[in-house]
Amino acid sequence: DGGITQSPKYLFRKEGQNVTLSCEQNLNHDAMYWYRQDPGQGLRLIYYSQIVNDFQKGDIAEGYSVSREKKESFPLTVTSAQKNPTAFYLCASTRQGLNTGELFFGEGSRLTVL
């Protein structure tokens, strides 16, 4: 079945370490997104990409980095510069175009910094 796969589902990290969260989609979507969610809060946009080899910062990009070398993949690296990385991270994708329907989400990755 088509969908978005995020891994790992749970991740523990020591302070000062970088960690990469994987996001893969087989929906042939051009646009992909990374969101961060803190407990009891809504979703905040970290980075997004509308096309391969191009991406833009969202509202809270500091301390994060991404790449988009393949259409199917949009990994997110949480760097040691991110001051408070413990959160629930969600990857999403959609087709390009104004009325092309919904945003598809992965199941999320929960990162805990020890």
Partner 1 sequence: DAKTTQPNSMESNEEEPVHLPCNHSTISGTDYIHWYRQLPSQGPEYVIHGLTSNVNNRMASLAIAEDRKSSTLILHRATLRDAAVYYCILRDVGNQFYFGTGTSLTVIP
Cis peptide before 75 (omega within 30 of 0): no
Query: Scanning residues 24 to 83, which ones bind partner 1 (CB under 8 A)?
Result: 31, 33, 35, 41-45, 48, 50
Min. distance of Cβ 82 from partner 1 in angstroms? 20
CB-based burial label for 58 (10 Å; 0-12, 13-18, 19+):
middle
Contact status: 13 vs partner 1 (CB under 8 A)? no
19, 87, 90, 113: which one contacts partner 1 (CB under 8 A)? 90
CA–CA separation, 53 and 12 (whole Å) = 29
Binding status of residue 22 toward partner 1 by CB under 8 A: no
